[in-house]
Structure 1
Amino acid sequence: MTGRPGGAATLRPIGWSADGRSHHVPGRYLVRIPEAGPDGVLRARVERLVLGLPGARSARTNPRTGRLLVYYDPDATGPDDIDRLLAQILSGEPAPPAGAAGRPLPAWHARPADAVVADLRTHPRLGLTRAEAAWRLRRTGPNAIRPEDPPGAWQRFLRQLNEPMVALLLGVAGLSAALGQVLDAVVVVGIVVVNGVIGALQEGRAAEALAHLERLSAPVARVVREGRLEVVPAEMLVPGDVVAVRAGDRVPADLRLLRATGLAAEEAALTGEPAPVPKGTRPVPVCTPLAERSPLLFMGTHVTAGRGRGVVVATGMATEMGRIAALLAGAAPAPLLLQQRMQRLVAPIVRATVAAAAVLFGLGLLRGTPAGAMLLASLSTAVAALPEGLPVSVSVATAAAAYRMGGRLAVARQPAAVETLGSCQVICTDKTGTLTTGRMSVEAVYAAGTFWLRSGPSGPGGVPAGFARAGPEPVQAGADDLRFALRVGILCSDTRLAAMPPADGDPTEVALLQAAQAVGLDITRERIGCPRLREWPFSSDSRQMAVLCREPDGGPALYVKGAPEDVLPRLSRERVGGEEVPLGPAGRAAAARAVRQMARAGLRVLALAYRPAHLPEDELVLAGIAGLWDPPRPEVPEALRRCREAGIRVVMLTGDHPETARTLGRRLGILDGGGVLLTGTEIDRMDDGTLAAVAGRLQVCARVTPHHKLRVVRALQRLGLAVAMTGDGVNDAPAVRAADTGIAMGRSGTDITRAAADLTLLDDNFASIVAAVEEGRAAFQNIRRTVRYTLVTNAAEVAAMVGAVALGLPPPLLPVQLLWVNLVCDGLPALALAVDRPGPDLMTRPPVPPGESLLEPGAARSLLLQGLLAGAGMLGTFALLLRHGAGLAAARTGALAALVLTKLAYLSGCRRDPRTGAAPPPNRLLRASTAASGALLLATLYVPGVGRIFGTVPLAPARWAPIGGLVAAQHLVGRLFEAGPPAPPRPSPQQEG
């Protein structure tokens, strides 16, 4: 059945069409569009426009066959309308925004909210039924941005071949085959294939790990189903669902707002504008630009303030974010920092390899060597110089570090985070929930001139046992004043205590509600008896929350909770004995003194006030001042001590009172005598240059806003420091994104912060950051060891080849032998080095500057020396065996054995720290790989039939003595030359400041 403008319908045959292009059953239409197969942008456009047809439930195109499968409502549209729309799209004509009946497609932002609800056949308060939502989900499919099909194993393998070294190796294989060295060419190609397979497997494991992380951090949505607010995975949303959002949420689908209270969203992913956009429910004209469609919230954007409810109007690829995802499909990502370092390391090696091969070829021709033989020798030198297995070893090192980070409750989103975190010099950290437990309790309340202190241990769920007066008891101060102050905390909060502990919600509000329960207040009764009329949500700029409620007597009253600095100046009266009395200078001074006393005790201070209807608009009545205690995590002091030993400075950024921040900073050891504490107000008075000058000694920031955090991070970066920034709330996201390494909280963190971060802590614990830094340093150290080992051994091979030609000797090793050595003796031990465990002193040295190379400073001299000595040992063995009557095959076999033994002997040296000479703990995998390399060497020499492949012959036992002597002498000389005064230690960030 196909809908028509007049309501009539025409029959469409069921089954396959005559031309075999389409298949139709009522409610389901399959049609082949060959042009949409390889074209991801066209597929996305077709799906989006087809979904715009009234009654279209889902549309999905198979990228391999080009077939479009559409589920639809037969009463609203049909195959004829789909075919008409496809013809217009494929002809290049602008697709009209019309459905089967010729009606314009819904412009949700231009329609009233009630009309949108009616179109989507839902209820603004009750939402959809579960059965209806399940039926719609089957038709529309999951609410997810479907990227291009992930590369298969074959595509991942081909991607590994897109490297300069691989291209050069394949060129070597082609020339070898042209010169008749078919076996050499086969071995070269085999090595390329092995490296490609290893790289493809590693990339596949990394993709699986990232997919697992995405599943762990999959966004959720608060959706109304059958009148109840439920939390469901965002991919389960369907058009017509009613969704609740609040500050910190990532918008799960395209929503048409039904209600909005102080709502704002950051839509930089769509519009490029980082400033939050105010949102409302009033319709706007159809032609309004995307960035100004205030009644809409878009999938993937983030709510930065307020709360609201909206109805889902588009999901998955039909959303604005889905359209952009299709347009961006196939765009190559920017190279990571580690990839850039590798390119900077490999590019000179490739150039030097080509130059060395050319020089060697010219030198041989001058000595009268046939061109064919010299070309073969030049190819051998090129093969010897290329570190074929280095990229795989580096990938294994970063993957191993990321795996160990996961075991220590820190998950890296990308490999660059592993390396960058190892170079971290400053950690800017939030206080609540990271340095502290995040489980607050009200320890003191100042009300009516009296201090009330928490008495007794906590009860079930952390509820205080009660409060007792402190000091002499004023006659006019009674428990009713305490209860009224905590009643303000009940009305001015959105948290609901769980039936069973632990409570879930904002820690500050949870503490206030638990304290209210402890003094006998009924939270539900208070909220029902004083319903909310309007609210002004908390924001980091205003630092307060206000609600307008209707009192039981029918009059309105405003309730406020917030920072004392913002609330106290607005006070004109104080509640004492149930009456509102003028707040004179003495009362104002007493309130300020109470704030200072609580702050100096390390408590977080919160002012509670209200304004009854009969007071002027700019006056408030002081109900009380609450002091909340958030105890430090027990493992934080030890983690901070390790940071100091590692030369990492910790800067605490908090919105607390300066005295609270100062007390906790000193208690934890963050703030010392030479450190600086800045407030947000003081930062505002500084220009960027002044702030950068002070940042060298900055240790604590109090009363900071998002803008202050961002300025602090950039001021530290202006000093050339690598900065890591932790955060959980929306206000932390800009600084987290700007930092060299952004670290988000996995438990308490908001979606916007996790999206901006490079690293996610699964336990929100500062100690996990220190553990992750250690793993990052270990990864960088292992990469350096692998690079050092690979380059030294390859330099030895080049030195021996060039030396042989210069002395008029034949090449000491055949290309197939060089390739075998690089694959076995470089590959296995290099992989073992890549997963080496960190040494005990790794966190007792200053961090590596982010601009430092993969090679240690001054390492080039050591590498050249070791390479020349190793090459001399191999060449000496080759010449000695030739001189004592050994055949060319036996001499080459001896040179091969000397090279392998030299490489294996150098393993212990490259594991030692070049600065201190210290070695890491024993590596059982390295021992096993060393033994395996030795066993493979013996198999190459003594297993029948293997020698013909590699051009080797069995060595008599007497031949091993001179080989071992030369290798031992070369190793000893290398150790003596390498020994010297240790390099001067790097200055710590504190010393640089």
Structure 2
Amino acid sequence: MATIQGTASTLELPDVVAQLGTDPERGLGAAEAARRLAAEGANELQVAPPVPTWRKILAQFQDPLIYLLLVAVVIATLAWVVEGAQGLPTDSIVITLIVIANAILGYSQEARAEQAVAALQRMTESSATVVRDGETQVVPAAEIVRGDVLLLAEGDSVGADGRVVEANALRVAEASLTGESTAVAKSPGVLAGGEALGDRTNMVFRGTAITQGTARVMVTGTAMDTEMGAIATMLEQTQREPTPLEREIALIGKMLGGIVIVIAVVVMATVWVISDVDTLDDAVTVLLLGVSLAVAAVPEGLPAILSVVLSIGVQRMAQRNAIVKNLSSVETLGSASVICSDKTGTLTNNEMTLQVVLTASGEAAVTGVGYAPKGQVIAVSVPQRAEDIVVLSGGSLASNSELRQTDGEWQILGDPTEAAFLVAERKMGLTERRTARFSRVGEAPFTSERKRMSTVHLDHEHDDQPVLISKGAPDVLLQRCTSIRVGLETRPLDDASRSDILTGVEGLSGRAMRTMGVAYRPLTVEQVGAEVIASGRVPAELAEELEDELTYVGTVGMIDPPRESAAEAVRQAQRAGIRVIMITGDHPATALRIAQDLGIAAPGEAALTGPELDTMDEAGWAAAAAEVNVFARVAPEHKLRIVDALQDTGQIVAMTGDGVNDAPALKSADIGVAMGITGTEVTKEAGSMILADDNFATIVAAVRQGRVIFDNIKKFLRYLLSSNMGEVLTVFLGVVLAGVIGLTAASQDAIVLPLLATQILWINLVTDSTPALALGVDPETDDVMARRPRVVGERVIDARMWGGIVAVGAVMAAATLLTIDIFLPGGLIEGSDSLEVARTAGFTTLVLAQLYNVFNSRSQTTSAFRKLLSNRWLLAAVAFGVASQVAVVHVPFLQEAFGTQPLDLGHWLVCAAMASTVLWFDEGLKFVERRLDTRRGVSSAR
């Protein structure tokens, strides 16, 4: 099928239909859509081809520290050749195997992180509403094909380029494509040709957003055969900017690299000066020591571990229905100090149930809850029933929602408020008569500025007389009403009746109900105009004219009960030092009642409305943002200003939204939270997080998880750096104090080291990988919601943490060297073992000390014995480390490779006991930390 993308705007609609081989009413058949999808490919923009596996593996070797190891392999091999190439080049083989093992580990970690991100991308794929086989369907946007008929409404993101077939007050924001700041009106028609992209008013384009109205569009181009695809082909691929956390990790890595290189040079120089280095073998030993020390002291796997930890954390959030689109957002989540939440569907169930119909003849109760039409409308008089019929049928007519029963379950498609009318109407048994009697011929859509919507219908029971039905905020509708329906008659709307209606509205709002008014106006064909009847679109100017001299019928009261989990979630947020603010377009009394029930607002606290905000200056806005917890009857621009005012005071703001007009506030907020169920595609694109269940408790759970993830990052950093510090100090102090602990007297060699180069590399391999990764997925050790939000810019490793790292590293080194001294003759403590056995014991003590240190590192203040067995991955990693050390000490070929000797039970007990001093020392530090925190009056949970 030849593309018509370039000429679609200049062809008559029948020609477009013919070339696309489709039906503008019934759309494509399912089989034909599947065939076209297979032939033309998915509706996705091309991305850079994936990096081949061999390049990813090769990238694992492109690291300065790996270069050092490879230099060490060359040095060791040359020394082996010079010395006669006797036996196997053990050092070279061991170092090479360690390099390969590191590469495999790094590749597997990166692959896992990529898989996690890919899984999240699949979860956030957009969808589109299409007509196929005459039925409305929701399909993934990637499955749109040319010839599909798209149904677009306010808030939708356009998934493909297309020709407008029908439009009703359609306006499209095309800034992402054309740079045009104002929305463009769209309508069917034929253009002459040669128009600029922004002037093609009969076309819609992929990546733009519907800001108003509805439309039926025929898809003319998908994937790269769209205007957005044409731009994509011209764009150069840009590199992703590192997050603040990634930048700090990189800074730490560089800083450690510089420090360690200096230490390695100092150690080599010290060994060279205090030892008699006069052979090539001695020189190689010194060089290997320096290289291996530099490699061991820097956690080169840290970036990969960080990516894996963030990815796993984000997956855990997704399992709790919080889909975080960017890993960097996890950092901000842990810092949130204010959550600005909508009411409907977030703090409540979003199952609007119409419970009261209030008319001139009195109040009628509607029984039943939810979307299942089980219940009845209890009217006390015949006039009241007549009024109720007009209210419920009128509210159902002025609606774009659908109520369906699928597999025995009642479901809605569209706005829950509109669906409540449909459910109540069905309870009265009016649906079939209403659909047979009226045919819609026009619509003036609801907008947040108008606060009402109107539809024009032909009444087939009255000679196809047009009638306008309006549904919206009662106070807004009343301003346009001049009469009121009483029974089967209409009467003038006097001041007393108007006051009674408003009093009734206040009463319903005081009962935490959302109110909606219904009014109507009989029209003539001349008033509506044949063009409107033919096109189905009511121009804005005509709508303003027709929505006048209305007859008010009645008010309905709906309840959307608070979610059972919302009150507890609010308490958890407040306990964590997070302020919760409700921002809603609902009536102030309704908003305040729900807010008080949930603990967001205190008894006696007032709500602030949008009109009141409009009268304030900058100082008033600042005061309102600092003090008010409930904002009602607000417009989208108010939400944006509230977010900005909070941010001006240094708050980190999470903001929820679902409508297209919420997108600016979501983008401005530090954490934009889009609703996954009721949210528009535009909102989902603007947000950094999507709630799959539209539940406020999910936001709080995500904040908790964000704090846990940040804590876990600190845990594995504390562990890696303190353990590596222990290795550096062991070698450095072992060389300096070789004579004191008996190393010098135990050997005739010119150079006697506390640990061999291969042993240092082994420690780095065994203790830097799986335990650190297991710490990265550690469950919550401390009560993270018992502390104030983390201040943005707070260093991951502060002075307090650095002090602990150095102290624990020093204890590790002291325990290791003292163990060597215990088993060596001479020194501080008299022993009787050989140098090889003593060195093996020291080597083992350092490994075990680092495995003890895993449990230390789970908290800076909480005892290691608290929730000791809660992390099965950590227990498995420690068990693996112990088993690996047993193997390297007792398996013959590993003994030869790593210069170890077998240890008996007594040796092992001494090693375990000496290594445990790290645990007891850190327990003492934590005890002191807790006492100091108690005196300072701060939480000890860290």
What amino acid sits opposite 2:507 in the alignment? Q
What corresponds to 2:530 in structure 1? Answer: none
What amino acid sits opposite 1:537 in the alignment? P
Deviations 1:517-550 (A, max 9, x none): 33342x3543453332321111122221112333
Name the Cα RMSD after superposition: 3.3
| 1:505-516 equivalence runs, <5 A | 505=413, 506-516=415-425
Is contact 1:380–1:814 with CA below 8 Å preserved after alignment?
Answer: no
More deviation in 350-359 or 436-445? 350-359
Alpha-carbon distance change, 280 to 688 in structure 1, aligned in 2, over 3 angstroms: farther
Of 653, 663, 682 in structure 1, the residue corresponding to residue 593 of structure 2 is 663
Alpha-carbon distance change, 352 to 277 in structure 1, aligned in 2, over 3 angstroms: farther
What corresponds to 1:30 in structure 2? Answer: none
What corresponds to 1:875 in structure 2? Answer: 817
For 1:166 and 1:574, the matched residues in 2 are separated by 84
Q: Does 1:306 find its partner at 2:306?
A: no
What corresponds to 1:852 in structure 2? Answer: 794
Deviations 1:683-724 (A, max 9, x none): 334455643443233422212232222222333333333322
What corresponds to 2:254 in structure 1? Answer: 347
Q: How far 1:961 moved relative to its partner? A: 6.3
Q: Does 1:907 find its partner at 2:854?
A: yes
What corresponds to 1:98 in structure 2? Answer: none
Of 356, 364, 370 in structure 2, the residue corresponding to residue 452 of structure 1 is 364
Q: Does 1:517 find its partner at 2:465?
A: no
Is contact 1:434–1:765 with CA below 8 Å preserved after alignment?
Answer: yes
What corresponds to 1:610 in structure 2? Answer: 520
Q: Does 1:151 find its partner at 2:51?
A: yes
| 1:924-939 equivalence runs, <5 A | 924-939=872-887
Q: Does 1:601 find its partner at 2:514?
A: no
Alpha-carbon distance change, 988 to 715 in structure 1, aligned in 2, over 3 angstroms: farther
| 1:354-393 equivalence runs, <5 A | 354-364=261-271, 367=274, 370=277, 374-393=286-305
What corresponds to 1:896 in structure 2? Answer: 843
Of 521, 524, 534 in structure 1, the residue corresponding to residue 442 of structure 2 is 534
Alpha-carbon distance change, 931 to 526 in structure 1, aligned in 2, over 3 angstroms: closer
Deviations 1:92-122 (A, max 9, x none): xxxxxxxxxxxx9833334444443344344
For 1:518 and 1:756, the matched residues in 2 are separated by 39
Deviations 1:258-301 (A, max 9, x none): 21112123334434556543322244564433334322211233
Q: How far 1:838 moved relative to its partner? A: 1.3
Q: Does 1:772 find its partner at 2:729?
A: no
Deviations 1:290-340 (A, max 9, x none): 334322211233323211111111112211222334444643222244423
What corresponds to 1:833 in structure 2? Answer: 775
What amino acid sits opposite 2:438 in the alignment? C
For 1:293 and 1:212, the matched residues in 2 are separated by 37
Is contact 2:120–2:315 with CA below 8 Å preserved after alignment?
Answer: no
For 1:932 and 1:842, the matched residues in 2 are separated by 29
What amino acid sits opposite 1:117 in the alignment? V
What corresponds to 1:944 in structure 2? Answer: 892
What corresponds to 1:60 in structure 2? Answer: none
Is contact 1:913–1:919 with CA below 8 Å preserved after alignment?
Answer: no
For 1:175 and 1:570, the matched residues in 2 are separated by 91
Of 561, 565, 573 in structure 2, the residue corresponding to residue 631 of structure 1 is 561
Q: Does 1:483 find its partner at 2:383?
A: no
For 1:869 and 1:894, the matched residues in 2 are separated by 16
Is contact 1:746–1:763 with CA below 8 Å preserved after alignment?
Answer: yes
For 1:738 and 1:961, the matched residues in 2 are separated by 60
| 1:411-426 equivalence runs, <5 A | 411-426=323-338
For 1:323 and 1:559, the matched residues in 2 are separated by 44
Alpha-carbon distance change, 696 to 972 in structure 1, aligned in 2, over 3 angstroms: same
Q: How far 1:676 moved relative to its partner? A: 6.4
Is contact 1:412–1:758 with CA below 8 Å preserved after alignment?
Answer: yes
For 1:928 and 1:118, the matched residues in 2 are separated by 65
Alpha-carbon distance change, 184 to 419 in structure 1, aligned in 2, over 3 angstroms: farther
- Please state whether the residue corresponding to 2:402 is helix, strand or coil: coil
What corresponds to 1:142 in structure 2? Answer: 42
Of 626, 634, 640 in structure 2, the residue corresponding to residue 696 of structure 1 is 626
Is contact 1:503–1:510 with CA below 8 Å preserved after alignment?
Answer: no
More deviation in 501-510 or 370-379? 370-379
Q: Does 1:980 find its partner at 2:910?
A: no
What corresponds to 1:244 in structure 2? Answer: 151
Is contact 1:829–1:929 with CA below 8 Å preserved after alignment?
Answer: yes
Q: Does 1:578 find its partner at 2:488?
A: yes
For 2:658 and 2:65, the matched residues in 1 are separated by 43
Is contact 2:351–2:370 with CA below 8 Å preserved after alignment?
Answer: no
For 1:199 and 1:588, the matched residues in 2 are separated by 73
What corresponds to 1:85 in structure 2? Answer: none
Q: How far 1:195 moved relative to its partner? A: 3.5
More deviation in 783-792 or 667-676? 667-676
Is contact 2:607–2:631 with CA below 8 Å preserved after alignment?
Answer: yes
Deviations 1:481-510 (A, max 9, x none): 222222321221122322454131221111
Is contact 1:676–1:697 with CA below 8 Å preserved after alignment?
Answer: no
What corresponds to 1:107 in structure 2? Answer: 7
| 1:675-754 equivalence runs, <5 A | 677-686=607-616, 690-754=620-684
Is contact 1:796–1:868 with CA below 8 Å preserved after alignment?
Answer: yes
For 1:984 and 1:459, the matched residues in 2 are separated by 50
Of 501, 507, 519 in structure 2, the residue corresponding to residue 591 of structure 1 is 501
For 2:925 and 2:662, the matched residues in 1 are separated by 52
What corresponds to 1:258 in structure 2? Answer: 165
Is contact 2:815–2:915 with CA below 8 Å preserved after alignment?
Answer: yes
What corresponds to 1:548 in structure 2? Answer: 456
What corresponds to 1:652 in structure 2? Answer: 582
What corresponds to 1:69 in structure 2? Answer: none
What amino acid sits opposite 1:804 in the alignment? G
Larger RCO: 1 or 2 (CA < 8 Å, sep 6+): 2
- Please state whether the residue corresponding to 2:611 is helix, strand or coil: helix
Normalised by the length of structure 2, the TM-score is 0.86
Deviations 1:639-672 (A, max 9, x none): 2222222222222221101111001100111112
Alpha-carbon distance change, 547 to 871 in structure 1, aligned in 2, over 3 angstroms: same
Alpha-carbon distance change, 234 to 979 in structure 1, aligned in 2, over 3 angstroms: closer
Q: How far 1:192 moved relative to its partner? A: 4.1
- Unpaired runs of 5+ residues, structure 1, are 1-54, 58-103
Q: How far 1:597 moved relative to its partner? A: 0.8
- Unpaired runs of 5+ residues, structure 2, are 82-88, 278-282, 528-544, 740-751
For 1:674 and 1:517, the matched residues in 2 are separated by 40
What corresponds to 1:88 in structure 2? Answer: none
Alpha-carbon distance change, 568 to 155 in structure 1, aligned in 2, over 3 angstroms: farther
Of 785, 809, 816 in structure 1, the residue corresponding to residue 715 of structure 2 is 785
For 1:434 and 1:490, the matched residues in 2 are separated by 25
Q: Tell me how many residue pairs correspond in the alignment.
A: 882
Is contact 1:143–1:316 with CA below 8 Å preserved after alignment?
Answer: yes
What corresponds to 2:25 in structure 1? Answer: 125
Q: Does 1:496 find its partner at 2:405?
A: no
What corresponds to 1:919 in structure 2? Answer: 866
For 2:375 and 2:593, the matched residues in 1 are separated by 24
Q: Does 1:817 find its partner at 2:759?
A: yes
Normalised by the length of structure 1, the TM-score is 0.82
Q: How far 1:387 moved relative to its partner? A: 1.2
For 2:497 and 2:937, the matched residues in 1 are separated by 52
Is contact 2:517–2:554 with CA below 8 Å preserved after alignment?
Answer: yes
Alpha-carbon distance change, 395 to 514 in structure 1, aligned in 2, over 3 angstroms: same
- Please state whether the residue corresponding to 2:892 is helix, strand or coil: coil
Alpha-carbon distance change, 984 to 565 in structure 1, aligned in 2, over 3 angstroms: farther
Alpha-carbon distance change, 532 to 161 in structure 1, aligned in 2, over 3 angstroms: farther
Alpha-carbon distance change, 390 to 756 in structure 1, aligned in 2, over 3 angstroms: same
Identity of aligned residues (%): 37
